[in-house]
């Protein structure tokens, strides 16, 4: 115990001697003034700022959006005011006494509290919150205690070997810091541009998808180049990586490259796009629900998803039944009895089918045709055009058959059922015929 007292006694004496100097009393007084003024200004400004920045209810303009974003920064008001006042006090005390270390430490502490409030109370994105909590806040804490230059120098001296290359821990931390921010900004920009392009209804769906993919490639390509420039990486050294990538494509990635190029061709030609119902050469059928740079996803009417490589849409036969709302011709077969005046049937059926709201008059109105004379009745079929497909949510043929049934029943026309003649023979009795 006596040994410990002897060790700390010089420090205590130095601190006591410093506490009796005018510089110490000046800094203590400045700290008290900073805390009082920061609390007073915060109490006065916060309600006024909230009243001025709160937009009218239902206002969704650019100005209202900017006001709401500024309102989210309200938790930063007190630490930022305190840091600004501490900076002012530090400048004044330095000019008078030549030193203001305690006030400078307090200024850095207030800045740390501002960063902490921003990460905890302002950020809502999960990635940004994790990024701030595990990377930004530790760096800010090192800055508060004044060890940032020493820590940077120590990390710069620690080299991590990677084959024939090596990098320092400081470079790795900078890469994580700037890389996370730049690529998050790229993702945010990509989401905004995608939302904007999807709302451009005057563009064809295939053109919209192509523009979305092109903007995504451009945004993340620019983010990569910016990150390399910020980190001081010579882009000419990437030529070696490009050569290795070319060899990899030639040896094992040709299918991926082929699907990528096929996806671009599909988007440029616009022969198939989201919403189209297609049938592949292998018999698979479904509605295109998503187009990526590698594959197209089809959804069948029973809810299954089929992932089809883009190359199949280029090298094989594909039947497109819809092509974004183009008309399709369907037919509904039916029969009437032989006792019917068949000359009346086409007019009755065509008038009934025309009443269906989905049946089109162009390119052709409903057309009832005589198809043949069957065993039990006379066979007809009505052809009609609709904008859609006869399955899933659109049961057109079923509706049309209901209309035909009701129309024929209303006119007293019988729809036949199969009939057979049975011959019964008994020994010793002449045969008879029963229908």
Q: How far apart are CA 87 and CA 35, in angstroms?
A: 13
Q: What is the pLDDT of residue 402?
A: 92
Under a CB-based contact definition with an 8 Å cutoff, are residues 398 and 333 in contact?
no
Q: Hey, how many other C-beta atoms are within 10 angstroms of the C-beta on 113? A: 19
Q: What is the pLDDT of residue 180?
A: 82
pLDDT averaged per 10 residues, the chain (length 435): 66 62 81 90 88 79 80 88 90 83 87 90 84 85 83 82 72 82 82 78 68 77 79 64 59 68 73 78 80 81 82 81 68 88 89 89 87 88 82 75 91 81 68 52
Q: How far apart are CA 64 and CA 69, in angstroms?
A: 9
Q: What is the pLDDT of residue 81?
A: 92
**Could you give the count of Cα atoms lying within 13 Å of 431 in the half-sphere of its Cβ?**
5
Q: What is the pLDDT of residue 4?
A: 64
Q: How far apart are CA 135 and CA 204, in angstroms?
A: 44
Q: Which pairing describes strands 378-386 and 328-336: parallel, antiparallel, or unpaired?
A: antiparallel
How far lies 171's CA from each of 167, 194, 230, in Å?
Answer: 6, 33, 11
Q: What is the pLDDT of residue 188?
A: 82
Q: What is the pLDDT of residue 164?
A: 62
Q: What is the pLDDT of residue 100?
A: 79
Q: How far apart are CA 414 and CA 172, in angstroms?
A: 85
DSSP state of 395: -
Q: What is the pLDDT of residue 405?
A: 92
Residues in the chain: 435
Q: What is the pLDDT of residue 435?
A: 47
Q: What is the rounded end-to-end Cα distance, in angstroms, of the chain?
A: 124
Q: What is the pLDDT of residue 18?
A: 61
């Amino acid at each position: 115990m006596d040994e410990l007292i002897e060790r700390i006694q010089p420090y205590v004496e130095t601190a006591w001697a410093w506490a009796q100097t005018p510089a110490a009393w000046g800094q203590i007084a400045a700290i008290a003034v900073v805390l009082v003024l920061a609390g007073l200004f915060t109490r006065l400004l916060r309600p006024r700022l909230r009243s001025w920045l709160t937009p009218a209810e239902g206002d969704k303009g650019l100005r209202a959006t900017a006001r709401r974003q500024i309102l989210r920064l309200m938790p930063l008001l007190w630490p930022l005011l305190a840091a600004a006042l501490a900076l002012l006090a530090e400048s004044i005390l330095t000019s008078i006494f030549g030193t203001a270390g305690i006030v400078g430490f307090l200024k850095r502490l207030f800045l740390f509290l501002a960063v902490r409030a921003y990460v905890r109370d302002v950020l809502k994105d999960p990635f940004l919150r994790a990024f701030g909590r595990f990377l930004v806040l530790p760096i800010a804490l090192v800055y508060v205690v004044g060890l940032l230059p020493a820590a940077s120098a120590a990390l710069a001296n620690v080299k991590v070997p990677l084959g024939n290359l090596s990098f320092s821990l400081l470079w790795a931390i900078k890469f994580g810091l700037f890389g996370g921010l730049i690529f998050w900004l790229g993702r945010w920009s990509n989401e905004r541009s995608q939302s904007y392009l999807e709302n451009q209804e005057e563009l064809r769906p295939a053109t919209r998808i192509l523009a979305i993919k092109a903007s995504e490639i451009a945004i993340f390509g620019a983010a990569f180049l910016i990150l390399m420039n910020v980190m001081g990486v010579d882009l000419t050294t990437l030529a070696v990586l490009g050569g290795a990538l070319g060899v990899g494509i030639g040896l094992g990635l040709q299918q991926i490259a082929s699907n990528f190029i096929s996806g671009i061709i599909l988007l440029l030609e616009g022969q198939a796009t989201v919403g189209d119902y297609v049938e592949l050469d292998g018999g698979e059928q479904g509605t295109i629900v998503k187009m990526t740079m590698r594959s197209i996803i089809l959804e069948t009417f029973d809810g299954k998803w089929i992932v089809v490589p883009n190359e199949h849409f280029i090298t094989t036969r594909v039947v497109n039944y819809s092509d974004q709302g183009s008309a399709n011709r369907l037919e509904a077969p039916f029969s009437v009895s032989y006792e019917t005046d068949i000359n009346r049937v086409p007019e009755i059926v065509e008038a009934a089918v025309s009443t269906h709201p989905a049946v089109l008059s162009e390119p052709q109105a409903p057309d009832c045709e005589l198809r043949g004379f069957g065993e039990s009745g006379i066979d007809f079929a009505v052809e009609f055009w609709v904008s859609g497909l006869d399955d899933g949510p659109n049961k057109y043929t079923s509706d049309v058959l209901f209309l035909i049934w009701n129309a024929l029943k209303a006119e007293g026309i019988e729809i036949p059922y199969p009939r057979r003649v049975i011959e019964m023979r008994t020994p010793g009795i002449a045969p008879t015929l029963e229908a």
